[in-house]
Structures are given as structure tokens and as C-alpha cells.
Amino acid sequence: MAGRAQSPELNPYTIERFVDPLPIPAVAKPAGKPGHYRMEMAEIAAKVHRDLPATRMWGYNGTSPGPVIETRSGRSVTVEWVNNLPKKHFLPIDFNLHGAEKDKPEVRSVVHVHGAKTPPGSDGYPEDWYVPGKSVTYEYPNQQDAAALWYHDHAMGINRLNIYAGLFGLFLIRDDFEDRLNLPKGPHEIPLIIYDRTFRRDGALDYPTSGMPEMPWVPEAFGEAMMVNGKLFPYLDLEPRRYRFRLLNAANGRFFHLSLSNGQKFLQIGTDQGLMAEPVVLEDFVIAPGERMDLIVDFSGHAGERIVLKSDAFEIMQFRVSPGLVQDGNTVPAILRPVPKPAESLAVRTRRIPLLEFKSPTGDSMTMLLGGRHWDMPITESPVIDTVEIWELLNTTDDSHPIHLHLVRFQILDRRAFDEPLYYASGQIRYTGPVVPPESHEAGWKDTIRAHSRMITRIIVRFEGYTGRYVWHCHVLEHEDNEMMRPYEILPKPAARPTRG
Ligand SMILES: [Cu+2]
């Protein structure tokens, strides 16, 4: 930071691994009355590792990740989101970005519950930010199936910094259907919120910059220090039995490619928006920022072993299975929950939306746009409530972008490679590869989907719940903060014309 000497960067390969137990985030307690919560954002000093001094972070109710808000389908909750953050930001703001100009207060926040079917006034519209000393109360009706959602900051132009600082947590919805499945629960159901960071040797969080003090934005922020639930390279003591892991990728930009060091397999039972039709066996998989997975791992037969969860060459955490035998009363049924896919013939409209990247003359990424439009241009995506649409995400860029639509759940239809230079030259689509079905771990209800480079990714969406203004965006937070986000509006049904009789 300007004006003071910085401690050198921490080399995460020099720090001892697996010395801190994995923290299990607390379940939030109602404040005053059932179903009402008070969540206060404030600066905290968090010990991320035994051998590091405490780290300045921002958290909810004293921790990062914040406490888990846990509720049931159909049970409405209200949350007072209190901004008690300092007035100065401790991470490098880029005042050139939309909504982060010098005339705006440095510290602003607004909370979005990712994956929630929420009325527009409570969805955390990025421009609905408020400053330290203020609070808002949002309502979450939770008229949706059991799923692992997550709350996080969504303030315009500084979202990547606020989340990097620690402003995120889980929001679990449960229901009777899920209860009947006899899945591992209580101490055998573990949230795993994974993300990467860079630290200084004095424990300070370090956010990368471009090297240009007037334009510090970087197109991606990757660290090699792997965090799970607020600890650096933690370990978890387990019994030799089944566990259910509620996995969230809360990283700014890193796609994790996860596997277990002993080659053991995961059994996936859920996607972003809840249970799948049937379990899927995975040896390894990619999870992009914003995505969640519901996983069962059976450690019976692995008593006494130490198993590392890794992402390619990166170690993330260690599972330590106790010796001996335990009785595992939980099961995983072969059939989970029906996931009906809307027929393509139901779609009233197909929107083809290009994902575009603009580079400087030196080849540096400058900005990425959805549909070639900036945030403040008029709304172009305005589906009618209770109609089905197909969105074709035509990715002309070099990166895969995790695209998230607020309010709705959807399914992926397929992906297909196309001739990108021809598209640029003439707007014409010529496919260059076969239709690729969704990967097995995407076969369920999604709210965030990877739009792969030089492919057209098709999703089918029913716009239901509420009319009004929402957003859709890339969940690489550096992209989102720099124009890769657009408003969309769900319109009411047109008034019925009187019929002639
Ligand atoms: Cu992106």
C-alpha cells in the first residue's frame, strides 16, 4: 500500500501445511424473533494459520466466512445486513471502473444471496449499495427446493475487493424431500468453502495490481495460498464412514480441478440448485467461481489414512481418517430427486449473446462485455414472467466464463465449437465440432454455468418468481467489476386481450 513499506510476499510453499483444524462455520442464530437475523459487516483480525500473525479481513458477525444462515424451503427469513465497515478500503480501488469513480464513497456494500429466488428489492442490486453506519433489511421467501446458496457482497465496481476481503458465507435451504433421503448430517455434513489468496509474511492479504497506480485493475487475481473455511491448508479429522460435503468455490477467479490424492472417487448428489436426479461418480471435476456441488465421500475402508484434496498440483486440505470401524447408518439412494428438463419446444425465444473481450494494443485485457454492451446501456434482455427462453452464450474470448443469472435456475442443453474468426468477420455461425452434452456433474439445476472459450453454450431457463430488475454476470469477479455484468428485467405478462365470443 502506498506510503508504507510492505512486508514481503509469503511463499505458500514455505509454510507448514495441515497444522490447523478446518473451522466449521457456525450456524447463524436468529436475532430477537424466529426467522430474523442481524448480520454485521465489520473489520476483523483472523488467524488463518498457526505460524502467521492475524490477518485484517472483513467478515460478517466476526468471522470470514460468515455464519451459515440455515432455513427451510417455504420459510421466509429476514436479514438486517448492517454495514459497520471502516470508511477507508484496505485493498486497491480502481476509480476508473463503472460505479467506483472518485465521487463515490470508498467503502460501500450490498448483499446478494446467490441462487436465491428473491424479490427484486431484496436481491442486492449492485447500485443499491450503502455506506458504513447504514443497514438494510432484506426478505428471503425461500420458495425453492433445498440447495446450498451463498451470500456475498455485490457492490458496484468494488465487488472483487469486498469478497476478497472476506465478505461471503453459506445460506442453506433444507426441505422434507431431502430429509427423507437419510444422507449424512450433523457432524457428518461439512461445508467446504474453498478460495485462493495471496498473503504477505506479516499475515496481510495482498491483492494484485497492474503496476499502474492510476489503473490498478487486473483481469484475474490468482493466489497460491489455498483457503478452506477461513484457514490456510487446514486438516479435518474424520471417521471411516460417509460424509456429505457442501462444496462452494468462493474464489475471485480460480477454477479448481479437484481430486483426492489416493485416487478415491466422489459421489456427487447435487448441483448449484439442489439434488440431482441420481448420483454421479467422479474421479475429478472442475468447479468454477460461484458454483456449488453436493458431494458424498465414503471414507470406510480408508481408516488410518491421510488423504489430500488437491487441485492439479495445488494441495488444498488434508482429510485424516481415524483408525478402527464405525457404524455408518447413512445411505445414498440410487434415485434422488426428479429434475425435469423443460422441452426446447417450450422456449418462446432464443437469445444469442456474444461474450467479447477488448484488448489494449499490447495485448492486455482491457474489458469484457456481455452482448457487446456496457452496464449502463439500456436493458436488452427482458423475458416475460413464466416463459421459457434459450440463451446461447457465444464465447469469443480465450477464457471460460462462469455466467450467473440472478433469481432463476436453469439447465444446460449443450455446447458446440464454432468458427470464431468467421463470426467476427460476418456475424455468421459455422459450427466446427459436434454437439457436446453437459458434463455429468452439470446434469441438474444450475444457476452458474461455464461458457467455454470459442464455444456456444446453450441454457434453457424458465423465468419465474418475480417481475422486476435483476442482473446477470460473469462470476470471475475481476470481469464482473469491469463491465461483464448486465441488468435484465422480467416483464409482467401482457394484459390478456378480450376474446371474441
Ligand atoms: Cu468472465
pLDDT tens for each residue of 270-301: 999 999 999 999 999 999 999 999 999 999 99
Per residue in 122-173, pLDDT tens? Answer: 999 999 999 999 999 999 999 999 999 999 999 999 999 999 999 999 999 9
Tell me the C-alpha distance between 424 and 323, whole Å. Answer: 60
Question: Which SS3 state, helix, strand or coil, does residue 162 take?
Answer: helix
Question: Ligand 1 center to residue 188 CA distance, Å?
Answer: 35
Centre of ligand 1 from the C-alpha of residue 364, in Å: 15
CA-CA distance, 410 to 287, in Å (whole number)? 17
Q: How far is the CA of 482 from the centre of ligand 1 (A)?
A: 10
Distances from the Cα of 402 to the Cαs of 140, 354, 388, 481, in angstroms? 24, 14, 21, 14
Buried/exposed 359-394: b ≥16 CB within 10 Å, e otherwise: eeeeeebebbbbbebebeeeeebebeeebbbbbbbb
CA separation for the pair 253, 230 (Å, rounded): 17
Residue 1's pLDDT is: 43
Any idea what DSSP says for residue 47? -
Instruction: Provide the percentage of residues in the chain whose pLDDT is more than 90.
Output: 94
All 3 cell numbers of residue 109? 456494500
Ligand 1 centroid, distance to 397 Cα (angstroms): 9
> Does the pLDDT of residue 501 top 60, yes or no?
no
Nearest one of 435, 446, 406, 416 to 271, comparing CA atoms: 446
Give the E-state strand segments of 73-224 in sequence order: 77-83, 111-114, 135-140, 147-153, 168-174, 189-199, 205-206
Q: Does residue 6 have a pLDDT over 90? A: no
Q: Are 370 and 484 in contact (CB under 8 A)?
A: yes
Mean pLDDT: which of 4-13, 229-238, 324-333 is highest? 229-238
Whether 291 and 402 have beta carbons less than 8 Å apart is answered as yes
Dist. CA 233–CA 242, nearest whole Å? 22
Ligand 1 centre to CA of 484 (Å) is: 7
Please tell me the distance between residue 480's alpha carbon and the centre of ligand 1 in angstroms. Answer: 7
What's the CA-to-centroid distance between 396 and ligand 1, angstroms? Answer: 11
Q: Tell me how far apart the alpha carbons of residues 111 and 98 are, in angstroms, rounded to a whole number.
A: 18
236 Cα–ligand 1 center, Å: 33
| 3 pLDDT higher than 60 | no
Q: What is the mean pLDDT of the chain?
A: 96
Q: Which one is predicted more confidently, 500 or 419? A: 419
Could you say which DSSP state residue 32 is in? S
Paired with 192 in beta bridges are 247
- For residue 486, the CA-to-ligand 1 centroid distance in Å is 12
Q: What is the pLDDT of residue 500?
A: 62
Looking at residues 333-345, what average pLDDT do you find? 96
In one-letter notation, the amino acid at residue 359 is K
Ligand 1 center to 485 CA (angstroms) = 9
pTM for this prediction: 0.96
Ligand 1 center from residue 400 Cα (angstroms): 7
Taking the C-alpha atoms of residue 168 and residue 208, their distance in angstroms, rounded to an integer, is 20
Report the separation in Å between the CA atom of 68 and the middle of ligand 1, taken as the mean of its atom positions. Answer: 27
pLDDT recorded at residue 224 = 96
| pLDDT for 394 beyond 90 | yes
Predicted local confidence at residue 499, as pLDDT = 66
Residue 289 CA to ligand 1 center (angstroms) comes to 10
Contact 154, 45 (CB under 8 A): no
Please state the rounded mean pLDDT for residues 322-332. Answer: 93
> What is the DSSP-derived secondary structure letter of residue 200?
B
Question: How much distance in Å is there from the Cα of 418 to the middle of ligand 1?
Answer: 19
Q: Of all residues in the chain, what percent carry a pLDDT higher than 70?
A: 98
pLDDT band at residue 2 under the 50/70/90 scheme: very low
| C-beta separation of 400 from 477 below 8 A | no
Question: Ligand 1 mean position to 218 CA, how many Å?
Answer: 12
Report the separation in Å between the CA atom of 144 and the middle of ligand 1, taken as the mean of its atom positions: 27
Alpha-carbon Rg for the chain in angstroms:
22
Task: Calculate how far, in angstroms, residue 368's C-alpha sits from the geometric centre of ligand 1.
Answer: 7
The rounded Å distance from CA 320 to ligand 1 centre is 36
Residue range 241-264: mean pLDDT, rounded: 98
Ligand 1 mean position to 353 CA, how many Å?
14
CA–CA gap between residue 281 and residue 268 (Å, rounded): 6
pLDDT for res 127: 98
Q: How far is the CA of 358 from the centre of ligand 1 (A)?
A: 12
Q: How far is the CA of 344 from the centre of ligand 1 (A)?
A: 27
Q: pLDDT tens digit string along 176-216?
A: 999 999 999 999 999 999 999 999 999 999 999 999 999 99
Distance of CA 402 from the midpoint of ligand 1 (Å) = 6
CA of 476 to the centre of ligand 1 (A): 5
Instruction: Tell how far the Cα of 448 is from the centroid of ligand 1, in angstroms.
Output: 12
- Compute the distance from residue 22 Cα to the ligand 1 centre, in Å: 30
CA of 262 to the centre of ligand 1 (A): 33
**What is the 124 CA–ligand 1 centroid distance (Å)?**
20
Distance CA 213, CA 147 (A): 42
User: Residue 4: what pLDDT?
Assistant: 54
| Residue 430 CB neighbours (<10 A) | 11
Compute, in angstroms, the gap from residue 483 CA to the centroid of ligand 1: 10
Cα–ligand 1 centroid distance for 118 (angstroms): 24
Say whether 78 sits in a helix, a strand or coil: strand
Strand order in 306-311's β-sheet? Answer: 235-238, 314-321, 306-311, 256-260, 285-287
Ligand 1: distance of its center to the CA of 387 in Å? 27
pLDDT in tens, 348-381: 999 999 999 888 888 887 889 999 999 999 999 9
**Mean of pLDDT values over 63-73:** 98
- The Å distance, Cα 496 to ligand 1 centre, comes to 40
Q: What is the mean pLDDT of residues 93-105?
A: 96
